[in-house]
Chain A
Amino acid sequence: MHSDEHDDRCLLYHSGELAPEDRAAFEAELAACEGCREFLASLRKASRLAAEAAVEPPHGLAERTSERVLAERGMESPPLFTRRSLGFALAFAALAIAVYVFGPRRAGEQSLNWTNGIERDLARTERKLQALSRDIAVGTDPAEIDSDLRGLEESARKLEKQLL
């Protein structure tokens, strides 16, 4: 009796995701199941028509795009989000926090404005750190992680400038 499970097997057969032995078994059973044959035919037809409905890109799209991207990013664009740059950002953030907590100015609390500003920046840096570790944990698009990372690095540098 044809079932949803049969349809799924047709899909995996068509996408080449069945193991060789399952593939052979499926082919042997195919002749016996009208539903499978029909579903497979529909799948092939939809697939063929979709291929025919591919949209021709405007002339020169690839060239324009790669030139634009390369110009924006620089020809020698270094691979981003390397361990090195992550290390920098984290080291800055850690240093900034350490200097703030244990540094000499802390004892005097000379200026309320000064500490408020720093605290705000620290809180911001901490939020960025949290966002970054969450993105890494859920396997977010590297481009987004990269942008988080740059934000973090920027805040860390700002903090460093204020503190050191």
Chain B
Amino acid sequence: MDSEEELCRRLKAGDPQAFKELVREYETPIYSFLCHRLRERAAAEDAFAEVFVRVWRGIGSYRPQGRLKAWLFTIAHRLSLDLAEKASRREQSLDAEDAQGRPLSETVAGPEPGPEREAIGQETRVRIEAALASLPEEQRQVFLLREYGDLSFAEIALAMDCPLSTALSRMRYAVRRLRGELEGLDA
């Protein structure tokens, strides 16, 4: 595979092939991140497209000071914040029933079970999703950026615009809480 630097150079030159490679490479991590953030498959799919619209639009001004991945997940994170804000405004005005409070599996499950469903079993998946959903918002953001983005805490602090110590303490609380929620699973 191309080195990140080379991929970045080709992207900046507007190489469509490089863009396709990028989208393919980050398909699962970005999509998973968005699914757990937005808790709805259709919303995650739309957001996925929007992330890459922003990436392609912004690549010209992107200065590779850090990892490309950190930049991608920062875009995905900020987009998810925008969407969450919009959703809460909509909720306030409509008070509509939506995905809130329902397990992700109900809203994320497609008509056909993906291979990963069989791998870990529906019950385990529901437990994990519920555990993640139970985290307070900011703890969940840190945890998802760390686990699906594989971002370092320094990168997470930058993406979330908070001190490193804050990113660490959010993760600390998240892990402690998940320890209880995931008790008995996959010992």
Instruction: Give every chain A residue within 8 A of B28 (Cβ-Cβ).
Output: 54-57
Establish whether residues B12 and A52, one from each chain, have CB atoms under 8 Å apart when the complex forms: no
Establish whether residues A62 and B128, one from each chain, have CB atoms under 8 Å apart when the complex forms: no
Instruction: Give every chain B residue within 8 A of A53 (Cβ-Cβ).
Output: 32, 36, 120, 125, 128-129, 132
Establish whether residues B116 and A54, one from each chain, have CB atoms under 8 Å apart when the complex forms: yes
Residue from the list B35, B116, B119, B171 in contact with A11, Cβ < 8 A? B171
Q: Convert B137-152 into 0s and 1s, putting 1 for each residue whose CB lies closer than 8 angstroms to a CB of A.
A: 0000001101110001
Establish whether residues B124 and A142, one from each chain, have CB atoms under 8 Å apart when the complex forms: no
Those of B130-187 within 8 Å (CB) of chain A: 131-132, 143-144, 146-148, 152-154, 165, 168-169, 171-172, 174-176, 178-179, 182, 185-186
Which B residues are within 8 Å of any A CB, using their own CB? Answer: 12-14, 16, 19-20, 23-24, 27-29, 31-32, 35-36, 41, 44-45, 48-49, 52-54, 56-62, 74-75, 78, 108, 110, 114-117, 119-120, 124-125, 128-129, 131-132, 143-144, 146-148, 152-154, 165, 168-169, 171-172, 174-176, 178-179, 182, 185-186
Establish whether residues B128 and A50, one from each chain, have CB atoms under 8 Å apart when the complex forms: yes
Distance in Å: Cβ of A133 to nearest Cβ of chain B: 15
Those of A35-73 within 8 Å (CB) of chain B: 39, 42-43, 45-58, 61-63, 65-66, 68-70, 72-73
Establish whether residues A49 and B182, one from each chain, have CB atoms under 8 Å apart when the complex forms: yes
Say yes or no: A75-B146 contact (C-beta < 8 A), given A42-B179, A143-B54. no
Q: Convert A71-83 into 0s and 1s, putting 1 for each residue whose CB lies closer than 8 angstroms to a CB of B.
A: 0110111111110
Instruction: Give every chain A residue within 8 A of B120 (Cβ-Cβ).
Output: 52-53
Residue from the list B48, B56, B169 in contact with A4, Cβ < 8 A? B169
Which A residues are within 8 Å of any B CB, using their own CB? Answer: 4, 7-8, 11-12, 15-17, 39, 42-43, 45-58, 61-63, 65-66, 68-70, 72-73, 75-82, 141-143, 145-146
Establish whether residues B14 and A79, one from each chain, have CB atoms under 8 Å apart when the complex forms: yes
Establish whether residues A11 and B172, one from each chain, have CB atoms under 8 Å apart when the complex forms: yes
- 27 A/B residue pairs, CB under 8 Å, sorted by A: A8-B168, A8-B169, A11-B171, A15-B146, A17-B153, A17-B154, A46-B147, A46-B174, A52-B128, A53-B128, A53-B132, A54-B29, A55-B44, A58-B41, A58-B110, A61-B27, A61-B31, A61-B45, A65-B49, A70-B20, A76-B14, A79-B12, A80-B61, A81-B58, A82-B60, A141-B74, A143-B58
